[in-house]
């Protein structure tokens, strides 16, 4: 009787293990995907934050005198306006990172297979996949910055603080998650020669952000790999 009960218990326990295995495997796969998204998002956010702070500091430090016409009070107002918009831009980029990473990871096969590999193969896959993900993320962030339009409207807002603006010209600025910088302009006059020159100055600064981000992402690939490996080790 005892042997019969022991055999029955063993069969039931073995059956539970067999049927539970796929569930555990699926759970582990989902959890690995979450850990991967979170760790890479953290990696990108740290770099974006620092790059945007450096860019903002550079822009605010070298705002052309032609915008303020050497008026100290006007220059302070322009710096405040520009700083506010650049902070909005940085916040929008940071808020966009996690959704972009979560969307882009499934498009890169090596990243989808990470949870099934040993550490050696996992590291190799990351070395292959991360430069491709870096390029996708930096390009998408560049689209959100929308340097061409952003430079024009930020200069327009700045110059409106010291130059007469047609009251029938209405400008509103909108930031939306994972979308380009939105500008709504009702009847905009032709920019002056100074304004066009100033817009080009700012355009060069903002256009560099996508390039700088990509360079930083690629230069710190080893940091990203280490962060992913540590996160996976802690969770599993």
Q: Is 61 exposed, middle or buried (0-12, 13-18, 19+ CB in 10 A)?
A: exposed
SS3 of 105, please? helix
Percent of the chain with pLDDT over 90: 44
Question: Are the CB atoms for 37 and 60 separated by under 8 Å?
Answer: no
Tokens of 112: 């989808």
The pLDDT tens digits for 36-49 are: 899 999 999 999 99
Q: Rounded CA gap, 92 and 84, in Å?
A: 12
Question: Are the CB atoms for 178 and 99 separated by under 8 Å?
Answer: yes
Tokens of 31: 């959890």
pLDDT band with cut points at 50, 70 and 90 for residue 159 = confident
Q: What is the largest CA-CA distance in the chain?
A: 100
Helix, strand, coil % over all residues of the chain, rounded to 5 = 80, 5, 15
Q: Is 88 exposed, middle or buried (0-12, 13-18, 19+ CB in 10 A)?
A: middle
The mean pLDDT value of the chain amounts to 77
* 113 backbone dihedrals φ, ψ, rounded to 5°: -95, 0
Mean pLDDT of 60-78: 85
The pLDDT tens digits for 108-152 are: 877 766 655 566 678 888 899 999 999 999 999 999 999 999 999
What pTM, to 2 d.p., does this model score?
0.76
Helices (H) and strands (E) in the chain, counts: 8, 2
Q: Rounded CA gap, 154 and 63, in Å?
A: 12
Question: Are the CB atoms for 144 and 92 separated by under 8 Å?
Answer: yes
Q: Which of 17-26, 81-90, 110-119, 124-133 has the lowest mean pLDDT?
A: 17-26
């Amino acid at each position: 009787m005892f042997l019969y009960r022991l055999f029955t218990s063993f069969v039931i326990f073995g059956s539970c293990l067999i049927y539970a295995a796929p569930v555990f495997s699926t759970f582990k796969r989902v959890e690995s995907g979450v850990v991967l998204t979170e760790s890479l998002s953290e990696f990108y956010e740290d770099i974006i934050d620092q790059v945007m702070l450096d860019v903002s500091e550079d822009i605010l430090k070298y705002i052309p005198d032609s915008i303020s016409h050497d008026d100290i009070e006007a220059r302070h107002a322009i710096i405040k306006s520009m700083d506010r918009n650049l902070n909005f831009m940085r916040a929008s980029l940071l808020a966009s990172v996690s959704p972009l990473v979560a969307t882009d990871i499934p498009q890169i096969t090596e990243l989808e297979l990470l949870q099934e590999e040993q550490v050696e193969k996992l590291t190799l896959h990351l070395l292959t996949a991360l430069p491709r993900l870096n390029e996708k993320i930096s390009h998408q962030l560049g689209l959100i910055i929308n340097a061409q339009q952003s430079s024009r409207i930020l200069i327009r807002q700045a110059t409106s603080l010291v130059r007469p603006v047609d009251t029938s010209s209405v400008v509103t600025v909108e930031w939306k998650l994972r979308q380009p910088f939105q500008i709504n302009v009702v009847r905009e006059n032709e920019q002056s020669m100074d304004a066009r020159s100033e817009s080009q100055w700012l355009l060069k600064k903002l256009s560099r952000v996508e390039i700088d981000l990509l360079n930083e992402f690629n230069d710190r690939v080893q940091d990203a790999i280490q962060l992913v490996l540590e996160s996976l080790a802690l969770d599993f």
